[in-house]
């Protein structure tokens, strides 16, 4: 793995924590220069955890402030990256938020914020960074969608709609940018062990049972780790996936593949 991305300039939005952090770590370990676009400065977080883990990073990581809902911020970000690095090889649109509320409680402001972060952000990032990707060797865009762009959970109307939009945007960009040599794919993660999802589990009165129940939804017998998503993003951004574009790759341990059946009819044999 080390050295596979040496010399590549990789932009990761929302890379300070969670899945984004794992993606940043993966590309850095592969030798890339990773530019983290985030509202939060991840410097101390990276330093403390890397020292504690004894992590050897082959590449370089840097932070440039970014608000993906603000086109002026994105323009400033692209200008900064262009001045520092001259171009971009990989764009990972990872920044996202989740709003949980019933339809009757949904507000226009809440709906618009979810769409601004999850869908308008990737659109604007692509619009302003694609000029920095043209002419590079095998440039790639990887959008982080969700299995909720394929199905949905209760009270997630804005989130599910935004992620379905990300999947549609992915296909449209693949068609439009393909002639310029830019591939575009999406990853649809399932239940991943992030700080956000861990918070939901920790609220359960029987946490161990909740974890076991979640694991049982997946044919592989476990919930996902951020590194599972990062590995898929890395492959999609690599020349090994040079003939793959316009795809939504589901990374969910088989959860969406298993057809549900009532417990009373399940065959435990």
Catalytic amino acids?
159
Q: How many angstroms separate the CA atoms of 25 and 218, rounded?
A: 26
Read off φ and ψ for residue 142, nearest 5 degrees.
-125, 120
Token pair of 261, please?
């059946």
**Helix ranges, 116-156 (H):** 121-133
Taking a C-beta distance cutoff of 8 angstroms, is the pair 107, 152 a contact?
no
Please give the DSSP secondary-structure letter assigned to residue 260.
Answer: P
Degrees (nearest 5) of the Cα angle 227, 136, 186?
35
Q: What's the CA gap between 211 and 197, in Å, rounded?
A: 11
Q: How far apart are CA 91 and CA 114, in angstroms?
A: 20
What's the CA gap between 149 and 136, in Å, rounded?
30
Q: Which residue has the tokens 């939804």?
A: 217
């Amino acid at each position: 793995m080390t050295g596979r991305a040496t010399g590549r300039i990789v932009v990761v939005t929302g890379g300070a924590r969670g899945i984004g952090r794992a993606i940043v770590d993966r590309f850095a370990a592969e030798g890339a220069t990773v530019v983290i676009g985030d509202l939060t400065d991840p410097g101390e977080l990276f330093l403390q955890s890397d020292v504690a883990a004894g992590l050897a990073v082959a590449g370089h990581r840097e932070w440039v402030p970014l608000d993906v809902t603000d086109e002026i911020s994105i323009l400033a970000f692209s200008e900064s990256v262009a001045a520092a690095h001259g171009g971009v090889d990989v764009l990972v649109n990872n920044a996202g938020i989740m709003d949980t509320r019933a339809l009757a409680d949904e507000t226009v402001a809440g709906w618009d914020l979810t769409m601004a972060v999850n869908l308008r952000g990737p659109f604007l990032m692509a619009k302003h960074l694609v000029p920095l990707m043209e002419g590079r060797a095998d440039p790639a865009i990887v959008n982080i969608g969700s299995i909720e762009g394929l199905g949905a959970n209760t009270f997630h109307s804005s989130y599910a709609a935004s992620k379905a939009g990300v999947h549609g945007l992915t296909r449209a960009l693949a068609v439009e940018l393909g002639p310029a040599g830019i591939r575009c794919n999406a990853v649809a993660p399932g239940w991943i062990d992030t700080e956000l999802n861990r918070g939901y589990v920790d609220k359960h009165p029987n946490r161990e049972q909740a974890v076991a129940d979640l694991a049982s939804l997946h044919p592989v017998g476990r919930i996902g780790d951020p590194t599972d998503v990062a590995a898929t993003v890395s492959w999609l951004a690599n020349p090994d996936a040079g003939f793959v574009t316009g795809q939504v790759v589901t990374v969910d341990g088989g959860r969406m593949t298993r057809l549900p059946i009532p417990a009373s009819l399940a065959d435990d044999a």
